[in-house]
Amino acid sequence: MSRATITADRDFTVGPVPHRLFGSFVEHMGRCVYSGIYEPGHPQAEEHGFRRDVLSLVRELGVSVVRYPGGNFVSGYRWEDGVGPVSQRPRRIDGAWHSIETNAFGLHEFADWARQADVEIMEAVNLGTRGVDAARSLVEYANHPGGTCLSDLRRRNGSPDPFGIKLWCLGNEMDGPWQIGHKSADEYGRLATEAGKAMKLVDPSIELVACGSSNSGMPTFGTWEQTVLRHAYDVVDNISLHAYYEEQDGDVASFLATALDMDHFIESVVATADAVRAAGKHDKRINLSFDEWNVWYTRRPGEDQPDAISERGGWHEHPRIIEDAYSVTDAVVVGTLLNSLLRHGDRVRIANLAQLVNVIAPILTEEGGPAWRQSIFWPFSQMANRAKGQVLRLAVDGDRYRTEKFGDADLVDASATWDDENGCVSMFLANRGLEESAEVSVALRGLDTARIARAEVLTVPAGADRFATNDAGRPDRVRPAALDGVVLDGATTRLTLPPLSWAVVELDVTRS
């Protein structure tokens, strides 16, 4: 049995829990929109064609903000195609995902859906094939009250009130050679600066996210962020990070430790942004928007080639693309990635699990059929709904294990929050050990524990293995259960985590 000791002090905090840390992502890709959130004619569809069963799951998931409409899709997208009478909207080729876009779902539909889902909109503008004029025009259409050509067009199209979108992405992954309209750092930095300036002339209240490197493995990583921010520092408020992880060649030990890579990625971008701040003698700090992250199997075991969308033949509406089925192992990894984001909540102010429905998503649906929760739904939902107040700065001392990719890693990974208003400490814990349980003791300083309010754990179901998943026939196979044996021992809480598990423990506390 492995062991870990965790110490937390009410006066040692990272900062407030960012509300936007629990975001997600809806892209016009595969079945995320069509037959995902939107399916007119479905038995669960309401009057606008939105699936009620999916809306219910999204609200349960606890999503706070949703990035839209892409992703790679946005770099070839004309926002004007998605407004006005649906019967008059053009059908277009989408080169990003080798599919046909009907444009039956656009900005008005998404804004209506977001209101029902109770989420904030994070809108992306096309800086691939378009630029300054299209970006500022979209802000005017979306946010200006009325009395101008574009705002009055919005009103005629059925939305008399402005959408009031505050959060805007300046393009997507523009350093990626796969991106439509791929640019150099100087090209993008200048364009993002001028587009951002024009957008803020229309609506000075908006917040802007500049594209960082597409991932930390890019040859451009580091120098890209530095160059872009040298151009755009005074205009933008955040810079983006994207990261996807998968188990490769059976190296589950490294896969379970990928949060160490996320930690390093975040800290590297913070260092770069702060270096530009110092060199430019700027007053404000640039924060981070981790607006794409998840587990994504680009190469499944036994497959010789990565997922190649364009090789599947033909042009189709909403084809099935990267609909990964997530296992217990994946859920534990997602839990540790959430821990990493929460631990860096002082600078990571926005994060978006990519994507929301069907496409590498916590929610799966069948066209005309049911919707259900994937294994990764649970750690996200538990943290999104229970991480309140202040992020506690934890000291973790315990057994470690060796990984090929990341060196030594803690067997027990943890984060925690303290909600003074409601008198609650929430702890989020993962046991990366595949074979051994972990004995964990948690000491709270400056807080007295009155009782254990909640203790739940997600682990391998009885009679299954670590690859167990949920599906339409067994939608609840992988889900949290009661974590027994949690005890209070004076100022210390003691518990045992099963092998390969993710747990949430809530304590009712008072100031001591």
- Give the E-state strand segments of 271-329 in sequence order: 287-295, 316-317
Answer yes or no: is pLDDT of 305 > 50.
no
Tens digits of per-residue pLDDT, 53-82? Answer: 999 999 999 999 999 999 999 999 999 999
Confidence (pLDDT) at 298: 82
- 44: burial class by Cβ within 10 Å (0-12, 13-18, 19+)? middle
The backbone torsions φ and ψ at residue 368, rounded to the nearest 5 degrees and listed phi first, read 75, 0
Per-residue tokens: 56: 């219910």
pLDDT of residue 313: 63
């739940």: which residue's tokens? 456
Confidence band (pLDDT; 50, 70, 90) for 512?
A: confident
Predicted local distance difference test score (pLDDT) of residue 501: 98
Distance between CA atoms of residues 20 and 65, nearest Å: 6
Q: What pLDDT score does 303 carry?
A: 46
Q: What is the DSSP string of 139-202?
A: HHHHH--SSSHHHHHHHHTT--S-----EEEE-S-TT-TTSTT---HHHHHHHHHHHHHHHHHH
Contact indicator for 359, 32 with CB cutoff of 8 Å: yes
- Euclidean distance between the first and the last CA atom of the chain, given in angstroms as a whole number: 33
| pLDDT band of 476, cuts 50, 70, 90 | very high
Look at residue 311 and tell me whether its pLDDT is greater than 90: no
Q: For residue 312, name the pLDDT band (cuts at 50, 70, 90).
A: low
Cα separation of 78 and 386, whole Å? 39
Region of residue 164 (phi > 0: left; psi between -120 and 50: alpha; otherwise: beta): left
Report pLDDT for 420.
95
Q: What does the alpha-carbon distance between residue 11 and residue 470 come to, in Å, rounded to a whole number? A: 41
Angle between helices 377-386 and 52-61 in degrees, nearest 10: 60
**Among candidate residues 238, 204, 254, 512, the one with its CA nearest the CA of residue 406:** 254
Distance of alpha carbon 60 from its chain centroid, rounded? 16
* Size (the chain), residues: 512
Overall average pLDDT of the 198-212 stretch? 98
Looking only at the bridges linking them, the beta strands covering 23-25 and 92-94 are unpaired
Q: What percent of the chain shows pLDDT beyond 90?
A: 95
404 CB burial (10 A radius; 0-12, 13-18, 19+)? exposed
Non-local CB neighbours of 330 within 8 Å, separated by 6+ positions: 295, 375, 376
**Predicted confidence (pLDDT) per residue in 25-52, tens digit:** 999 999 999 999 999 999 999 999 999 9
pTM, rounded to two decimals? 0.96
Model confidence at 138: pLDDT above 50: yes
- Of 480, 467, 231, nearest to 379 by C-alpha is 480
Q: How confident is the model at residue 309 (pLDDT cuts 50, 70, 90)?
A: low
Is the CB of residue 411 less than 8 Å from the CB of residue 400?
yes
pLDDT at 306: 41
3-class DSSP state of 411 = coil
The dihedrals phi and psi of 231, each to the nearest 5 degrees, come to: -75, -45
Q: Please determine, for residue 125, whether its predicted confidence score (pLDDT) is greater than 90.
A: yes
Reply yes or no on whether the pLDDT at 304 is more than 70: no
For the chain, domains (ranges, CATH) are 3-8+391-511 (2.60.40.1180), 20-386 (3.20.20.80)
**Structure confidence by residue, pLDDT tens digits, 328-366:** 999 999 999 999 999 999 999 999 999 999 999 999 999
List residues with catalytic annotation: 173, 292
Q: Is 329 helix (H, G, I), strand (E, B) or coil?
A: helix
CA distances from 34 to 91, 103, 193, 288, 314 (A): 14, 10, 34, 30, 18
pLDDT attached to residue 300: 54
Residue 308 has pLDDT above 60, yes or no: no
Sign, Cα dihedral of 362, 363, 366, 369: positive
pLDDT (tens digit, 9 = 90+) per residue, 169-198? 999 999 999 999 999 999 999 999 999 999
Which residue from 22, 5, 6 is spatially nearest to 382, judged by alpha carbons?
22
Q: Residue 482 in 3-state DSSP? A: strand
What is the chain's mean pLDDT, rounded? 96
Q: Which of 378, 389, 292 is nearest to 330 (CA)?
A: 378
482 contacts 455 by C-beta, under 8 angstroms: yes
Q: Give the three-state DSSP class for 340.
A: helix
- Tell me what pLDDT residue 491 has: 85
Q: Return the amino acid letter for 120.
A: E
DSSP-derived pairing of the beta strands 348-354 and 287-295: parallel
495 DSSP β-pair partners? 440
Decide if 254 contacts 406 (C-beta within 8 A).
yes
- pLDDT at 395 > cutoff 60: yes
Give the pLDDT confidence of 216-259 residue by residue, as tens digits.
Answer: 999 999 999 999 999 999 999 999 999 999 999 999 999 999 99
Peptide bond into 374 cis (omega under 30): no
Task: Please tell me the predicted confidence (pLDDT) of residue 299.
Answer: 63
**CA 413 to mean position of chain CA atoms:** 19
**pLDDT confidence of residue 314:** 79
The pLDDT of residue 370 is 98
Contact assessment for residue 361 and residue 491, using Cβ atoms and an 8 Å cutoff: no
